[in-house]
Structure 1
Amino acid sequence: MECNSQSPVINAISVDVEDFYQVSAFERVINPKDWDSYPFRVADNTRRILDLFAMYGVKGTFFVLGWVAERDPELVRRIVADGHELACHGYGHQLVYAIGPDAFREDITRSKKLLEDTAGVGVSGYRAPSYSITERSMWALDILIEVGFSYDSSVFPIYHDVYGIPNSPRFPYRIDREAGGLDEFPITTYPFRFMGKKLDLPFSGGGYFRLLPFPLIDRAMGRLNNEEGRPAVVYFHPWEIDPEQPRVCGAGLKSRFRHYVNLGRTWGKLQKLIRKYRFAPLETVLETTV
C-alpha cells in the first residue's frame, strides 16, 4: 500500500513491548513478584501490531522487556523474522534512577543477552522504562556504552513528574562520555509558544497520542517533516491497543487516567498515521540523521 506523505523524511516508529500490569503507573499496587498471576496479553497484542505493520509494509523497532521475551521467545523470533529491529527495554521494567548503577547494569546485561540468544541477532538499542534516564541518572549512559549499546532512546526533553530532561536537544544527537560515544534519539516534541514563552509539547506517543485529536497530531508531524525537515519518533505500547484489558484496582486517579484514557482510539489513530507518513526502525533513521 502506497504512502500518502508528501515529505521525503522517514520517521521512526517503535513499540515498547510490556504488559498492562508492568507499567510504572501501577508499581505501587502491583508487585513484580505477582506478574505471573495476571493474564499474559502482551503477546497477542504485539502479534496484532506485527500483522498491521505487515499489511502496510512498515518496519519498526521493538523495545522488548526481557521478562516478556523469557515467557514467549517465539514472539521475539517473529519480530526479527518479520524484518523489524529488536531492541532492549530492560528486564524488569524498573525506573533507572530508582535502582542505581549496579542493579541497572545487571538488568540490562541480563536482558540484552537474553534477547540476543533468543533471536540470534545483535541488540544495539535501548529505551529505559518510563524514560527514566534523567539528570539524576546520567551515569546510565556510561553503563549502556560499557554493556555494548550503540544508541539510546530514553531522553524526553520535557518537564514531567516521572521523567524528562528539559531543554535537551529535540532531534537525534551524539553523546560523548568518558566510556565512549552513544547516539541519542530523544522522544519527539512540538515547539509551541504560549504567552511569549516557548514550550516543547509531546504528541507522538503514549498517553499524549491517545489524548490529543488526530488533526493536531497530523499537524505536528507535518510541520516536523515538511517545515523542519526532521524525523519524529512515534512510540506506543501493546496494551494501548487493548481497551478490553482488566482494570487494576487501587491505583490513584492520575495513574488511572494516564493509563486508560482513550484506549479505544489508539488503533484507529495508528492506522491513519502509518497510512500517511513514512516509517523505519530507529537504527535506520539514525544512520541518516546523526
Structure 2
Amino acid sequence: MQQRAPARVVNAMSVDVEDWFQVWAFEGSGAIARDQWDSLPRRVEANTDRLLGLFADANVKATFFTLGWVAERHPSLIRRIVEQGHELASHGWNHTRADAQTPDEFRADIRRTKRALEAAGETEVVGYRAATFSIGPKNPWAFEVLAEEGYRYDSSTYPVKHDFYGDVHAPREPHQRGGLLEVPMTTCVRMGKTLPASGGGWFRLLPYGISRSNMRRVVDGERRPAVFYFHPWEIDADQPRVANINWKTRVRHYTGLGHMERKLQRLVRDFAWDRMDRVFLEPR
C-alpha cells in the first residue's frame, strides 16, 4: 500500500506593528525620545497597507501584534487588518519593555492596549508580544498577569543570546506558562548551537537561502510550526535616517531594507502560513 505524504506543516506569520522611530535601539541610545514621536513623520499605515497587499496576493493570513499608540492614531488601519481576515493582537501601548515595568504598570499597559485594540477592531484580542521580547527571567510574573487580563497566548520569549533580549534557558517549543500558552520565537539547532530562525533583522542580514534552511530544520526536520516575525518599517527603504546612532544600530536597522519585500514574497511561496491563534490554539 502506498504511504501518504505527511501533511504540510502550517506556520505562523506575524507582524509587529510599530513605526520606524519606535524601535527600542533608537530610544535606548537616546537618539529619539518618546516626546518626539508625534512630531515625526508617521509611515506605519502606508507600510502596513503594503503588507496587507502582499499577503492578499499570496492568500496568506497573519497576526498583527499592534501598539495601542498606533491603534489610537490609525483606527481605520486596525479595521482593515481585521476586515481582511487577519488576527489582531497586542504589542503593548507604546513599546515600553515589559522588564522595565512593575507588575502594576505592566497590567495597566496590557489592559489599556487590549481595550483600545478591541474597540478599534471590534474583535477579541487574545495574543500578546512584548516589546523587544522582554519577558524572561527578570519578570516571570508577567505570564500570570497576561492570563488574568484575558490573554490566551504570549509570544515574547526568544531562546537565544542577544545583547537586547533572549533567554537561553527557555524551552524552544510551545509550552504552558502561568495559565496561558507561551509560543517562543523559532530557533534551530546546528552543531549543538541554538540559532535564531524567526525573521526580523536576521532575515534581512542573512542570505535568503540560510534563513529558509534554518526554518526547514524546524518545519521539515522537527515537524512543527515555525513563527516568523518582522516590522512594517523593514520594507521601507525610504524611511528617514537617524544620524546620532552607533555603527551596530545603523547596520541592524538599515541593512537589507531594499531587498526585504522581495524576500518576503519568496518566503510566503516557500512555506504554508496562517495566523498565530489558528496555528497554536486551534487543533488541526
TM-score range, shorter chain: over 0.9
Does residue 1:8 correspond to 2:2, yes or no? no
Shift of 1:223: 2.2
Does residue 1:189 correspond to 2:187, yes or no? yes
Q: Which runs of 5+ in 2 are unaligned?
A: 1-5
Compare 43-52 and 261-270 and name the one that shifted more.
Answer: 261-270
Counterpart of 2:161 in structure 1 is: 159
Counterpart of 2:229 in structure 1 is: 235
Shift of 1:204: 2.4
C-alpha separation in 2, matches of 1:7 and 1:31:
48
One-letter amino acid of the structure 2 residue matched with residue 244 of structure 1: D
C-alpha separation in 1, matches of 2:221 and 2:143:
32
Aligned 1:11-26 pairs, distance under 5 A: 11-26=11-26
C-alpha separation in 2, matches of 1:204 and 1:265:
17
Counterpart of 1:3 in structure 2 is: none
C-alpha separation in 2, matches of 1:223 and 1:93:
32
Aligned 1:134-283 pairs, distance under 5 A: 134-175=136-177, 177=178, 181-193=179-191, 198-283=192-277
Shift of 1:285: 0.7
C-alpha separation in 1, matches of 2:106 and 2:35:
18
Shift of 1:90: 0.4
> What is the root-mean-square deviation in Å for CA atoms of aligned residues?
1.4
TM-score, normalised on structure 1?
Answer: 0.92
Q: Identify if the C-alpha distance between structure 1 residues 7 and 211 changes in structure 2 by more than 3 Å, giving closer, same or farther.
A: farther
One-letter amino acid of the structure 2 residue matched with residue 264 of structure 1: G
C-alpha separation in 2, matches of 1:131 and 1:219:
24
Q: Which runs of 5+ in 1 are unaligned?
A: 1-5
Shift of 1:7: 6.0
RCO comparison, higher one (Cα < 8 Å, 6+): 1
Task: Check conservation: 1:7, 1:226, Cα contact below 8 A.
Answer: no
Q: Once the two structures are superposed, what CA deviation does each residue of 1:242-277 show, in whole Å capped at 9, x if it has no partner?
A: 011000121222222211121112111100010111
One-letter amino acid of the structure 2 residue matched with residue 255 of structure 1: T
Q: Identify if the C-alpha distance between structure 1 residues 173 and 134 changes in structure 2 by more than 3 Å, giving closer, same or farther.
A: same
One-letter amino acid of the structure 2 residue matched with residue 188 of structure 1: T
Shift of 1:167: 2.6
One-letter amino acid of the structure 1 residue matched with residue 117 of structure 2: L
C-alpha separation in 2, matches of 1:64 and 1:57:
21
- Give the length in aligned residue pairs: 277
SS in 2 for 1:14: strand
Task: Check conservation: 1:188, 1:203, Cα contact below 8 A.
Answer: yes
SS in 2 for 1:160: coil
Aligned sequence identity (%): 50
- State the 4+ residue runs in structure 1 displaced beyond 4 angstroms: none
C-alpha separation in 2, matches of 1:171 and 1:82:
29
Counterpart of 2:58 in structure 1 is: 56
Q: Once the two structures are superposed, what CA deviation does each residue of 1:28-69 show, in whole Å capped at 9, x if it has no partner?
A: 221111101111100000000001101110000000100000
Q: Once the two structures are superposed, what CA deviation does each residue of 1:225-245 show, in whole Å capped at 9, x if it has no partner?
A: 222101110000000000110
One-letter amino acid of the structure 2 residue matched with residue 259 of structure 1: H
Does residue 1:116 correspond to 2:118, yes or no? yes
